Structure 1
């Protein structure tokens, strides 16, 4: 596993919070973390300034990393008090690396090239994150129904990648005809009068292609080793919950209008499950 301090820096960059180590229980689970990352991006696209999240309170959506996206938070050491004025405005979350990460399942894809080799997850293509290092998250036996969603068989959920800046600009939902033999039809984005509530693409975006996600990822300069990194989340997505968008290799977890914060959070939690933090040297 890479240095735990580097991993916490990456979590800070993804969440826009100060992620600090603790010897006690983690304040959040990996599922809570992906909820926050996804919901912050969703509510920002909806025009909100704040997000309420249980156990953390009010989170600002004015991401400080938008001002200086290449700067990691201050040194992540227990009891550190070196935060500047910008970092001090962030919410702080406490993470215990021992119960948040799962080093047994880390995987270094840095020098792997798959070429034409095909991989499947949930009987769907799996584009492995070649060139990246995967830091595994502690998610086994955390969900009702067992761990089949994380497997390699037909019942497993497909893999998706979440890039920080993936939002509604990526396209609208693909609509299908009523009959079983009907071909898919696309709504033109310019035809605004034809875009209905069900096709506007309101929700959380991800992609099965790590190369596409990389275009929307965060970058940061680590205070641990002084190097530049890219960071992504690797997830599994519920195949019954996603919708396909007009843009190729884009999936949407749709959030209907009128859903409150609790209902929106439940939609994300039932749809996307994280299992890897991806790091790549720039």
Structure 2
């Protein structure tokens, strides 16, 4: 709420101007303004769900404000840090994070979404009979169901889009399976060039032969996606990995965020910046 002084009366009085939340966000520069009204519940999962419910009220024209982004990062970091928990609980946390509106367009499949037909044909030659499927990210367009990334309770299996990078596996259309206990590092990589058309990748064990092309993932959600996958590996295998983000990759993420997300401190400050001209020095 913004207050003005009415000087038209002999005795000046405060007049309140009520601005709806959406209009405040527009005045702030078309950014979300959820952290100002966020009330911590003492549980990062519940806090994340409430924050995401607020984000969902804004359409795609609105970008994440700096303070909202900081709160989101704080909550997800708190979730991913808790690794000494039962796998079932960790999986539910993983599912909650990847069910937020940031990933609405990617149509992930979780454990309960696998039908009998999908289970039978998905990466048939690479899957082990004693493995349970928990997550699938289909990156195929025309060849839906034949490309993508699969997480079981024991391994990660993936097949990149043909032509997404020049490697023997991609040229032959072969899938790759890597058990969790053989993964020593996961690095977020951004490459643009003739041999790296899609840009964002996860590189396992520092080996570009183990690059997982993240088709359809973009700057706003790629780090969260990578961190969630690392978290799943940790809770499934009792590993202690962290998503590695090299300086050059961090520069791309930071530059992209600053270009598309105005630096807004709070709801009140942002509105006053719009309505009250700054004095010239």
Task: Determine if the TM-score, normalized by the shorter chain, exceeds 0.5.
Answer: no
Larger helix share, 1 or 2 = 2
Larger strand share, 1 or 2 = 1
TM-score bucket of the superposed structures, by smaller chain:
under 0.3
Q: Which has the higher contact order (CA 8 A, sep 6+)?
A: 1
Greater gyration radius? 2
Structure 2 length-normalised TM: 0.25
